[in-house]
Structure 1
């Protein structure tokens, strides 16, 4: 059962590992429809259409959801594994400023600590309620690293304490998606529990790739480790630490953006703008598009095109982009890795140079003034570079992408395509590939809801890695690992994970 399911990142990982979907709980209508579109046909219950329904976890219990789905029998005998990621916005540091701003606008007394009193902070308690109701053999919770220090409180440890009282052995750690082949340096907290009656240890999956993380990640991980050690030096705690996988461990390097986008046709935004083939208005993520190669050209494109039950043969969907007529020309001139401050300085200097060369004395002043005003609008970026340093970013071709966020649903400047000639932000399908959603996975709604669903999701390949470990924890038979064939991964155990697992034992 998948709580806070979104469009189904965790569900896809677990379904691919052989688990059967019982039910999902998701309040966003478009995300719920995407989830149903992909999983209703392979789920339980007489009324599979109900898998498309949005459910508010604050208002629904497992029993009412099971009734809607036509699932009979005791509630506590339906679910072997409970999974879910409570909304992370209230925990994430990037969202705290917005919460404060909105609270001040409403003139609330506790506006300065709005992130501490946001109602979403306590949704983990509803997760615990579902644990008590369904009594699963094992469970998984995902969230942002900042859940380890929410106003000085380690919420993950609080959850662990409650779960231990319910009879579960629990461990949580930080895992980076790039360690598991995902072309994205997404760092998240994963908490795994297994019921003590099974007498099994909690084991996290072995990293399959090594990745050189950007400098900011090293600082975040060091801070988290220091905090954990300080808070729990003299007390029982559930945290474990998995060391970064290294090149000398014999692992392949992380998947790059260039490898991730292989076989998807180029989209030349400036050419489309000039010819009138792109305009403002709704973009349809269900629009089909063919590949540039009859067979996959990289291991990642092979995985995306041949993922079991979600592969694609001759075409995929969702390769659509935003209409940004002012900025295509700027995207073309950006260098890989540039963020907003570099772009802003470049545009300011470019405008000055162009103004100096085009508007000289002696021209018709009236015409010149109007032209100059229009020109300035076309060469001015509206945001303060001191306040929005991460608003723009151009991908590196030969590195993983940085983290995709739900903000993709509002704009995509955080992920600008590395190819100068294409001069655009990434498409919906490219975002899906960076998140490890295969090419046969469909998204309901227009472009904005589709981007939001992708940014909110747990990478399916990370969920799959955890699900494969969980199979053994609850006594399932061994299963064929799709990564061996589709990603050509070595089957031998890797030393990096052996170091980490030893530190997580009971």
Structure 2
């Protein structure tokens, strides 16, 4: 995608119209180049050799895992497929009960990769000990363990100003390495999550290239924009989910139909989610509100869904209590009643809005010499970066049902590639 020098509004023209084979060749050359720069590491080999791959499970590799919202949603979907929806959700409300049954899930996470220290600490506090956590730059991980599915929300720093071809833009190395993990391990399925804006970049050219690049790795690929509130999340949050099924697998993934809304279960509201926390909300970010913060409405009513939860304490939405904000000019809103009647949502409240269970613990890094705002901002970041658990579960449910039938037919390991067969 190239921006021309015409006057007025920016004009874009499509990237070169490469054939499928040309796209694959470019991709393979780029991945081979990236792989050649990685130095062999005995410690990494030891990490991968210790993964707890189970033949009777659908083994998951989680990239850019963060605190584990996507992973927890998949695990819950896998449990629901085995023991039933009602029993799984009932157990999910109690850590003791959930820990006693979570191993029954058809999904089994064996490896995660993320550089965010506090998020990795949170993951360790909330997931089984068998999960190998790799806190290392993905560009320096030479081999990934064999798996049945790869999930993750890859960052996209270069997509906002895409070059002639996405795979040629060095800023998109993280995207390239997601594809590298697919080519190397050839899992049956992958699921990638990203922001809504990806769909409109370059008038749709970016998502077109992404689909082509993933497809060239050997997958039938589709994508869809989903809103979290349609699946029982008390939040307006649009996210793109890209799903790929390996071309030799007889499975057509269908995105989940909305479960909540005018024709289904009523949307879950802020009152449903956090009203009981009014007298004991826990820690929340304090301090003044910037001009940018006050450039738009930040307060929803109790009967509504929350604004999208951001990865920042300073940018957290306002609690519903108190009078509504008042618009007093273009991009200018007033906090009626002053700051004493307008506080940001707490860590516990935004975790509820992201549909994490109350037993889920978020690490603040443990630096007692740092300010409270500094410590809890790390928690806000983890929660805001996460995929809402119940949205992840909805996306995962059709795959869980398929995985269960696949394993029952003992077909899961047919056509398996060795983890180092392509490099």
Contact 2:74 2:396 in 1 (8 A): yes
**Which entry has the higher C-alpha Rg, 1 or 2?**
1
The answer to which of 258-267 and 425-434 deviates more is 258-267
d(CA) in 2 for partners of 1:162, 1:54:
27
Structural RMSD (CA): 3.0
Deviation of 1:430 after TM superposition, in Å, equals 0.3
Deviation of 1:474 after TM superposition, in Å, equals 3.7
Alignment of 1:37 with 2:125, yes or no, is: yes
Alignment of 1:156 with 2:218, yes or no, is: no
Q: Give the gaps of 5 or more residues in structure 2.
A: 1-60, 78-104, 323-339, 365-374, 409-423
Deviation of 1:120 after TM superposition, in Å, equals 4.8
Deviation of 1:424 after TM superposition, in Å, equals 1.5
* TM-score (norm: length of structure 2): 0.63
Alignment of 1:60 with 2:141, yes or no, is: yes
d(CA) in 2 for partners of 1:256, 1:441:
21
d(CA) in 2 for partners of 1:384, 1:36:
36
Paired position in structure 2 for 1:5: 65
Contact 1:471 1:477 in 2 (8 A): no
Say if 1:117 and 1:137 are closer, same or farther in 2 by CA, change over 3 A: closer
Deviation of 1:40 after TM superposition, in Å, equals 3.9
Equivalent residue in structure 1 for 2:291, among 383, 388, 406: 383
- Between the two proteins, the alignment pairs up a number of residues equal to 291
Paired residues for 1:179-258 under 5 Å: 179-210=230-261, 247=262, 250-258=263-271
Q: Give the gaps of 5 or more residues in structure 1.
A: 45-49, 64-74, 97-109, 211-246, 268-317, 328-380, 480-506
Paired position in structure 1 for 2:320: 418
Contact 2:285 2:377 in 1 (8 A): no
Say if 1:472 and 1:417 are closer, same or farther in 2 by CA, change over 3 A: same
Determine which structure has the larger strand proportion and give its number: 2
Contact 2:286 2:343 in 1 (8 A): no
Equivalent residue in structure 2 for 1:436, among 333, 355, 367: 355
Alignment of 1:81 with 2:149, yes or no, is: yes
Say if 1:163 and 1:429 are closer, same or farther in 2 by CA, change over 3 A: same
d(CA) in 2 for partners of 1:415, 1:28:
24
Contact 2:115 2:136 in 1 (8 A): yes
Paired residues for 1:95-494 under 5 Å: 120-152=171-203, 154-210=205-261, 247=262, 250-267=263-280, 319-324=282-287, 383=291, 389-390=295-296, 393-406=298-311, 408-409=312-313, 411-412=314-315, 414-420=316-322, 423-445=342-364, 446-476=375-405
Say if 1:428 and 1:25 are closer, same or farther in 2 by CA, change over 3 A: same
Say if 1:167 and 1:39 are closer, same or farther in 2 by CA, change over 3 A: same
Deviation of 1:89 after TM superposition, in Å, equals 5.8
d(CA) in 2 for partners of 1:124, 1:15:
24
d(CA) in 1 for partners of 2:159, 2:320:
31
Paired position in structure 2 for 1:215: none
Structure 1, residues 450-471: CA drift from partner, whole Å, max 9, x if none? 0001111111111111111112
Structure 1, residues 161-210: CA drift from partner, whole Å, max 9, x if none? 23323332211010000000100110011011112222111211121011
Paired residues for 1:12-27 under 5 Å: 12-17=72-77, 18=105, 19-27=107-115
d(CA) in 2 for partners of 1:10, 1:135:
21
d(CA) in 1 for partners of 2:347, 2:197:
27
Contact 1:138 1:194 in 2 (8 A): yes
The answer to which of 182-191 and 9-18 deviates more is 9-18
Structure 1, residues 482-505: CA drift from partner, whole Å, max 9, x if none? xxxxxxxxxxxxxxxxxxxxxxxx
Partner-residue secondary structure (3-state), 1:261 = helix
d(CA) in 2 for partners of 1:9, 1:435:
8
d(CA) in 2 for partners of 1:258, 1:90:
39
d(CA) in 1 for partners of 2:283, 2:64:
27
